[in-house]
């Protein structure tokens, strides 16, 4: 077993034997004619190590080469390896820069950086003086900072630096719109170098007889982790049945004595599985090595480096080991199939963490980790059938992330919308709107989205805009009071909130102040203090801090998260969100809080508070009085059955006080009506069956008649646009009975041009003329089905069901008895006449002997009448 470099697969061979070597000459030629190159290089090609190593000797690069890596652990590992191959110390010719750590010098020519570092470099020096080439490695991972860094680099290249070269590298270009963003770029493709990996599947359902497809994380995390632990123990002890049954020609090449890499969603699952395995594996033989982003650098190095004690490593990792990084000795992978998915909720302003299935692309990357050194084995803890249902690739972060920091970057760059930048994917409109609103609330941008002086100063601090605002306001308050304690405290609070690893000391943020002085957090705290030109004894400061100051500072950063107790049901935030605290936590009895950190989870109606501080309500009359807004409010009184008006003092959606005011005017009543409908729903209006049918027909038209541009009259859109379609018709409404009397069907029809209504009636008619002269009603349901109800005798002779929407929609026929009771439901009349009709006829002929039940229904004339009347009409 190979026990050399952590990047063994790319570097254990001479450079001229790696696949990337074949592309070195074509790549140099490409850069002679084009400053943009797209390189697709699968696993093991050598793109992350051998390529930048070779480029250091290319004469055309006189200046510095920047290479971006998505993760800190990969950036450090790659830089250290290349430096060792050059025979130099890290920080000399080769260096790296990541958040909180820099090992670069004046002589550094190749600098490996994480993506956010590049954005800062560009903002500080838009010409990137002295830099010849930027390499974007693993661009397919689609991190938010990757997309932004590439966009800014392209902006620079198109304006200041036409000579700047950009190399975008990806393990796969599938689903990646690079060629659209860079249409003139040269495209090159390299072969990969990896060994075959045998795949095994062992889902929890298959092992335990549970329902396949159920998400075990919802309530059974421990059971699921025990299943994974058992699979790992079986594999390491040689008891994996699938591996034992592999064909000898393949199995003979798999090193079952190698190390194992397990992929889990997050740190919490890693530590629980670590405890499970520690009790069941012989630790004289196996070495358990956690690996996650917030782990100290030395512990990360231990997980990546060769085992020096003769033990077999069991590396328990998040997706930091998914790409760009080869962990020494790995021949087996066990994949949970889950990832921690962060999704920003624009309604609450918080990022929701959920556990989701990985994509097929991620599954392939993870499995490939077992084949970097030799033939390997990957055990997937889901079914092979479920594998086919996974998404092809992960969604880019720009669609579901918090865009507040990115929007501040955009303002610093001078654009007023993220989509003004050359982005691979357009940003989420809802998330971006919330981002600009908060930046304006914190006075970081003005109403025109132009960066303010305060915003420029905040950006220089290099932290989240909320925290930067707090730090600067603390500096201003300290100067006014002649005391630097508030600044030092603000730095400590920011350090706590930006820390990636905190102990468990309850919800009260003051319990973490001493922890913020230490390790990586302490280093960052002192960096901010230096930027803010403050020099105080932090240990002494911690001992003298008052809770009022903590609450004040947090309220500056999180004005939308001031929270008022709702009694037994938790708290309401100023932004309207409900949150809860653990019942036993001391802060759970406070009347008012400032919530600094809370998270929403699937299946929970309220967010869970992790960090907060108690706040005195008197602050809203003094130092935080600027947060209190006066509002003239109009609402509906259910008890008295009338609208009322009052003046409210409020912080966001929290009402501090209210007093009755004069009779509401018409505009106030209209606003009250809109609020009432949005809170109680469209049921307050007269949305009868005609309206429902119109909505279902238009929904179908939108799906099947895509070129016509149909108006949206779905419930969500109607609620969001009440002012537009309902507002003009309620000027004289003063009661709910008057509101219900409105003809909403006509109001919605008014949204359509005349020719659109004619087209709708033609494509999706409300009636169908039967051969008997009956105009049978067609109803449309929200599942997209059209149903025509008619007595069976009137459908005789029909060869097929009616077809609507220019042949795109077949009507489902509901055939009725003479008493108009349902007999059959079919969209295939021809098949019905030949088969099920025979049984219907047997049952119905005796019950309705006066009506026609022919033996050959497909060739019988339809009728509305009894047999006798039908025959007499035919005779006449």
- Helix (H/G/I), strand (E/B), else coil: 481: helix
Q: Could you identify the residue written with the tokens 């646009």?
A: 721
Quick one: 8-189 is in which CATH superfamily?
P-loop containing nucleotide triphosphate hydrolases (3.40.50.300)
Structure token pair of residue 284: 């004289």
Give 531-538 contacts, CB < 8 A, sequence gap 24+: 531/460, 531/461, 532/461, 532/471, 532/475, 532/487, 532/491, 534/475, 534/478, 534/484, 534/487, 534/488, 534/491, 535/484, 536/484, 536/485, 536/487, 536/488, 538/488, 538/492
Q: Longest Cα pair distance anywhere in the chain, in angstroms?
A: 112
What value, to the nearest 5°, has the Cα angle with vertex 336 and ends 353 and 611?
A: 25
At the topology level, CATH places domain 197-394 in Rossmann fold (3.40.50)
* Same fold flag, 8-189 and 197-394: yes
pLDDT tens-digit profile of 5-42?
Answer: 334 334 444 555 778 888 899 999 999 999 999 998 87
pLDDT tens-digit profile of 543-591?
Answer: 888 778 999 999 999 999 999 999 777 999 999 889 999 888 999 999 9
Dihedrals phi, psi of 286, to nearest 5 degrees: -115, 145
Let me know: does 817 contact 846? Beta carbons within 8 Å.
no
Helix axes 404-413 and 115-124, enclosed angle (nearest 10): 30
**pLDDT for the residue 182:** 92
Helix axes 144-159 and 404-413, enclosed angle (nearest 10): 10
Q: How far apart are CA 270 and CA 205, in angstroms?
A: 22
B/e letters for 260-297, b = 16+ CB within 10 Å, e = fewer, are bbbbbbbbebbebbbebbeeebeeeebbbbbbbeebee
Q: How far apart are CA 705 and CA 707, in angstroms?
A: 6
- Cα first-last separation, the chain: 99
> Where along the chain do its domains lie?
8-189, 197-394, 403-460, 468-621, 684-753, 765-875
Q: Could you identify the residue written with the tokens 């004040």?
A: 552
Q: Could you identify the residue written with the tokens 């889901």?
A: 382
Q: Could you identify the residue written with the tokens 């009085």?
A: 625
Q: How far apart are CA 697 and CA 687, in angstroms?
A: 15
Q: How far apart are CA 267 and CA 502, in angstroms?
A: 12
**pLDDT for the residue 208:** 57
Closest CA to 5 of 372, 378, 310, 376: 372
Assign residue 603 a region (left: φ > 0; alpha: ψ between -120 and 50; beta: otherwise).
Answer: left
Please, is 514 exposed, middle or buried when counting C-beta atoms within 10 Å of its C-beta (0-12, 13-18, 19+)? middle
**pLDDT for the residue 450:** 96
B/e letters for 74-85, b = 16+ CB within 10 Å, e = fewer, are bbbbbbbbbbeb
Let me know: does 217 contact 264? Beta carbons within 8 Å.
no
Q: What is the DSSP string of 274-330?
A: HHHHHTTS-TTTEEEEEE-TTS-HHHHHHHHSPPSSSPEEEEEE-GGGSSS---TTE
Give the Å distances, CA to CA, from 719 to 2, 241, 676, 683.
Answer: 64, 56, 11, 11
Give the Å distances, CA to CA, from 520 to 101, 295, 362, 523, 689.
Answer: 9, 11, 30, 5, 63
Walking along the chain (876 residues) 10 residues at a time, the average pLDDT comes out as: 34 60 90 92 81 91 92 87 90 89 90 89 92 92 91 93 93 82 90 81 70 44 85 88 63 75 91 93 90 82 80 89 74 92 86 86 87 86 90 89 95 95 94 95 94 95 94 91 86 90 86 86 88 88 85 95 88 92 90 92 78 94 91 84 88 90 85 91 91 95 90 93 93 89 94 94 95 93 92 93 93 93 92 92 90 91 83 58
Structure token pair of residue 143: 């991190």
Residues 6+ apart with CB under 8 A from 375: 195, 196, 197, 198, 250, 253, 254, 255, 331
């Amino acid at each position: 077993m190979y026990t050399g470099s952590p990047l063994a697969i790319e570097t254990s061979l001479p450079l001229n034997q790696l696949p990337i070597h074949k592309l070195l000459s074509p790549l140099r030629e490409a850069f002679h004619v084009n400053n943009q190159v797209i390189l697709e290089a699968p696993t093991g090609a050598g793109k992350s190590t051998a390529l930048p190593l070779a480029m250091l000797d290319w004469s055309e690069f006189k200046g510095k080469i920047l290479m971006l890596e998505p993760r800190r652990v990969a950036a450090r590992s790659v830089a250290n390896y290349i430096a060792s191959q050059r025979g130099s110390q890290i920080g000399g010719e080769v260096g790296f820069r990541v958040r909180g750590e820099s090992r670069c010098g004046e002589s550094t020519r190749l600098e490996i950086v994480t993506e956010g570092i590049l954005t800062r470099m560009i903002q500080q020096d838009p010409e990137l003086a002295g830099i010849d080439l930027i390499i974007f490695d693993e661009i397919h991972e689609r991190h938010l900072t990757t997309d932004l860094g590439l966009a800014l680099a392209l902006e620079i290249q198109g304006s200041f630096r036409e000579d700047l070269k950009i190399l975008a590298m990806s393990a796969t270009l599938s689903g990646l719109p690079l060629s659209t963003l860079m249409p003139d770029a040269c495209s090159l493709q390299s072969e990969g170098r990896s060994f075959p990996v045998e795949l095994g599947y062992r889902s929890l359902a298959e092992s335990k007889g549970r329902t396949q497809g159920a998400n075990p994380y919802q309530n059974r995390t421990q059971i699921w982790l025990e299943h994974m632990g058992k699979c790992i123990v079986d594999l390491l002890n040689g008891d994996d049945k699938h591996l034992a049954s592999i064909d000898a020609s393949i199995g003979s090449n798999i090193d079952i004595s190698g190390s194992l890499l397990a992929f889990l969603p997050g740190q919490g699952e890693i530590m629980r599985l670590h405890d499970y395995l520690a009790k069941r594996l012989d630790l004289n033989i196996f070495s358990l090595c956690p690996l996650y982003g917030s782990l100290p650098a030395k512990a990360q190095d231990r997980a990546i480096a060769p085992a020096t004690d003769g033990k077999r490593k069991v590396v328990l990792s998040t997706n930091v080991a998914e790409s760009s990084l080869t962990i020494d000795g790995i021949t087996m992978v066990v994949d949970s199939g889950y990832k921690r998915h962060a999704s920003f909720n624009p309604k609450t302003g918080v990022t929701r963490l959920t556990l989701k299935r990985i994509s097929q692309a991620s599954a392939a990357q993870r499995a490939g980790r077992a084949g970097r050194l030799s033939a390997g084995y990957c055990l997937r803890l889901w079914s092979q059938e479920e594998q086919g249902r996974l998404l092809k690739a992960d969604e880019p972060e720009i669609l579901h992330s918090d865009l507040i920091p990115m929007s501040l970057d955009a303002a610093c760059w001078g654009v007023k919308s993220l989509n003004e930048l050359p982005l691979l994917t357009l940003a989420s409109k809802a998330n971006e709107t919330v981002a600009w609103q908060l930046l304006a609330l914190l006075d970081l941008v003005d109403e025109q989205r132009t960066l303010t002086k305060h915003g420029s100063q905040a950006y220089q601090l290099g932290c989240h805009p909320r925290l930067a605002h707090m730090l600067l306001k603390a500096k201003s308050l300290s100067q006014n009071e002649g005391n630097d304690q508030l600044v030092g405290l603000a730095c400590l609070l920011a350090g706590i909130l930006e820390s990636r690893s905190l102990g468990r000391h309850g919800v009260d943020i003051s319990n973490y102040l001493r922890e913020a002085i230490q390790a990586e957090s302490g280093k960052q705290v002192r960096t901010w203090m230096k930027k803010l030109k403050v020099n105080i004894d932090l240990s002494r400061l911690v001992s003298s801090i008052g809770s009022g100051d903590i609450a004040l500072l947090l309220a500056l950063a999180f004005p939308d998260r001031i929270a008022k107790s709702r009694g037994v049901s938790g708290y309401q935030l100023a932004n309207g969100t409900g949150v809860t605290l653990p019942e036993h936590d001391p802060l759970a009895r406070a009347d008012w809080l400032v919530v600094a950190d809370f998270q929403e989870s699937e299946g929970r109606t309220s967010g869970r508070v992790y960090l907060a501080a108690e706040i005195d309500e008197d602050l809203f009359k003094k130092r935080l009085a600027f947060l209190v807004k006066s509002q003239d409010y109009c609402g509906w009184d259910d008890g008295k059955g009338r609208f009322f008006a009052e003046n409210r003092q409020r912080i966001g959606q929290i009402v501090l006080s209210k007093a009755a005011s004069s009779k509401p005017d018409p505009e106030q009543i209209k606003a009250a009506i809109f609020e009432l409908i949005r809170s109680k729903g469209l049921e307050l209006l007269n949305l009868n069956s005609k309206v429902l049918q119109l909505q279902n027909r238009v929904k179908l038209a939108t799906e099947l008649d895509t070129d016509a541009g149909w108006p949206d009259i779905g419930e969500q859109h109607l609620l969001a646009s009440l002012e537009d379609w309902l507002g003009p018709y309620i000027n004289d409404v003063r009661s709910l009975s008057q509101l219900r009397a409105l003809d909403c069907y006509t109001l919605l029809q008014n949204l359509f041009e005349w020719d659109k209504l004619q087209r709708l009636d033609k494509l999706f008619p409300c009636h169908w003329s039967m051969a008997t002269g009956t105009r049978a009603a067609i109803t449309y349901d929200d599942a997209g089905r059209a149903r025509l109800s008619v007595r069976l005798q009137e459908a005789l002779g029909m060869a097929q069901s009616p077809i609507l929407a220019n042949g795109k929609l077949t009507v489902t026929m509901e055939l009725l008895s003479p008493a108009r009771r349902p007999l059959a439901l079919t969209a295939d009349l021809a098949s019905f006449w030949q088969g099920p009709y025979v049984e219907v006829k047997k049952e119905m002929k005796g019950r309705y002997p006066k009506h026609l039940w022919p033996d050959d229904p497909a060739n019988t004339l339809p009728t509305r009448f009894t047999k006798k009347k039908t025959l007499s009409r035919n005779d006449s």
